[in-house]
Structure formats: C-alpha cells, structure tokens
Amino acid sequence: MSKLLVKSTSFSISNILINFLVFGLSFSVNAEALKIGLVDYPPHLDFKTPLEESKLFQYTDGVFKKQGLKAEFIKYPYRRALLELKKGNIDLLLPYDYSDKSLKILSKPIFYSVPGLCFKKEKFIPILSALHRLKGLKIGIPPGVPIVSVLQNAEANLVDMQGSDITNRGIALTQLGRIDAFYHPSPLKVYHSGDERYKEVACSYFHGYDSGVYIATSPRMSEKTFTLIDGVFKQALNELSYEYYFAR
C-alpha cells in the first residue's frame, strides 16, 4: 500500500466562520492526521505517475496546507477504499461519483464529469445529440451505473458488461467488434493522452448531463469535523475552483 504523509506549516484563513471553526477544533482534528483515501481517476488523479504530479492531489493537498490541517493520503483500489471509509479507517474519500447514496458527501462537488460513449476510432460517432445514429447499435453498459435518459430512449441495444475492469473490457470488445461502443460515466478517464489506450478509441459526450464528483466522508466522522471540512472546501472552491485549476 502506498502512503504519502503531508505535514502542514501554514495557517491562514480569511473566512470568519471557518476561522472560528478551525480554532475551535484545531486540537481534535490535528491531534492525528486526517486519513484521506484516494482512488485512481485519470487524468485528475493518475496512479501511474508520482502522486505529486496529479492535479487533484495538488489541489486537495493545497487546501489542507492552507488551513493548517495535517493529512495522510493513502492510495486504494475503489472497492477497498469504500470498505475502509465505511469502517471508519479513513476519514475522506476522493474522488467519489456518489454511486452509493448511503454515504455522506461534502456539499459542493469538487468537479463535474460528463458521461458519454467510447467507440472504436474507425466507427466513431461524434455527435451524440443525433440520436437516430444510435438506433440498433450494440452498446455495453457497466453494471450499476445510471444511464442518461437520452441513451435509454435512443433505441440502441444496451447490453450489460461483466468483469472487474470494465474500461479495459469495453475497449477490448469494441476492438473485436463485439459491441459498437461502451458507455462511461466519465470518458475523460479513458480518452486522454496520458493513457495509451486512448489511441484505440474515440469518445463522444452527452453534454448537458454532467454530474458532480464529490468528496465522501466516513460515517464515523463527527458533525463538528464534517462542518469544518465542508466549510474549508466550500471556501477553497469559491476562491479557485478545481476545474479552473485543472485547466490552467
């Protein structure tokens, strides 16, 4: 298991409410480092590169440092991360696509993802608003993933995909011609130049159907600590959004 311990030395807070909360809770929160579970979410958080090079880590690390909060970042596979969060072994989990509604999340999404379809490049359909082009196509759907209504109504042949790595499975099936495309809640995780697999596929997006990607919190976290962290991230996102930070 890979771990990175981050110790903070700065302490500057402009918002009066956050200032009060941090001073009031600084001893209890900083007595031990907050444990932050991270899951692979390229290109925002890419475990194939040093953690310090991932934009989402840089942003989150900076938020904690600015507020004088100590944090220990731990990399996990997604299912293991959910288990550790529910057990209370970690305090926060990011990024989190809100698939398990029983978990509590911070009030503002850290960024938004746009769902879409990934095709074999030779069969790429660039405009997903032209739904008649999807009629009769065989489209692989990851199990348990909510599907946008326009795809459900497009008269495509939707088939369940099985396997532990749905992205690799979808790419393999499109290359073999067994499906025409596969649905992905965030094709940017697949279709970017940092992933060699992007050379085999091309992805289109269902614009207007973006959904929030959040930070989830442990069920064992106290309400005071939740309020503190929620306020810290609200302030940070209002001052400089992660999406702007990522794009610059």
pLDDT greater than 70 at residue 214: yes
Please check whether residues 162 and 103 belong to one and the same domain.
no
Q: Output the pLDDT for position 17.
A: 46
Q: Output the pLDDT for position 167.
A: 81
Please check whether residues 121 and 243 belong to one and the same domain.
no
Please check whether residues 201 and 229 belong to one and the same domain.
no
- Structural domain including 96 reads 3-111+213-247
Q: Output the pLDDT for position 65.
A: 92
Q: Output the pLDDT for position 200.
A: 82
Please check whether residues 33 and 106 belong to one and the same domain.
yes
Cβ–Cβ < 8 Å for 103, 193 = no
Print burial letters for 209-239: b (CB count within 10 Å at least 16), e (below 16).
bebebbbbbbeebeeebbebbbbbbbbbbee
Residue 68 burial by Cβ neighbours in a 10 Å radius (0-12, 13-18, 19+):
middle
Please check whether residues 224 and 144 belong to one and the same domain.
no
Cβ–Cβ < 8 Å for 231, 18 = yes
Inter-CA distances, 187 with 50, 117, 210, 219, Å: 22, 7, 12, 30
Q: Output the pLDDT for position 58.
A: 96
The order of strands in the sheet holding 116-120 is 157-160, 138-141, 181-184, 116-120, 201-205
Please check whether residues 195 and 226 belong to one and the same domain.
no
CATH code for the domain in which residue 165 is found: 3.40.190.10
pLDDT greater than 90 at residue 226: yes
* Residue that wins the pLDDT comparison between 71 and 199: 71
Please check whether residues 178 and 237 belong to one and the same domain.
no
Please check whether residues 49 and 90 belong to one and the same domain.
yes
- The tens digit of pLDDT for each residue in 88-122 reads 999 999 999 877 778 999 999 999 988 999 999 88
How far is CA 148 from its chain centroid?
Answer: 18
Radius of gyration of the chain (CA): 20
The pLDDT confidence band at residue 192, using thresholds 50, 70 and 90, is low
Q: What percent of the chain has pLDDT over 70?
A: 83
Inter-CA distances, 99 with 5, 147, 157, 167, 181, Å: 28, 12, 24, 17, 22
Please check whether residues 137 and 184 belong to one and the same domain.
yes
Listed residue (107, 31, 115, 18) closest to 63, CA to CA? 18
Q: Output the pLDDT for position 158.
A: 95
pLDDT greater than 90 at residue 199: no
- The tens digit of pLDDT for each residue in 13-60 reads 444 444 444 444 444 555 568 999 999 888 888 888 899 999 999 999
3-class SS at 176?
A: helix
* Residue that wins the pLDDT comparison between 188 and 93: 93
Please check whether residues 105 and 22 belong to one and the same domain.
yes
Please check whether residues 186 and 221 belong to one and the same domain.
no
pTM of the model: 0.72
* Residue that wins the pLDDT comparison between 9 and 129: 129
What's the structural domain count of the chain? 2
Please check whether residues 76 and 119 belong to one and the same domain.
no
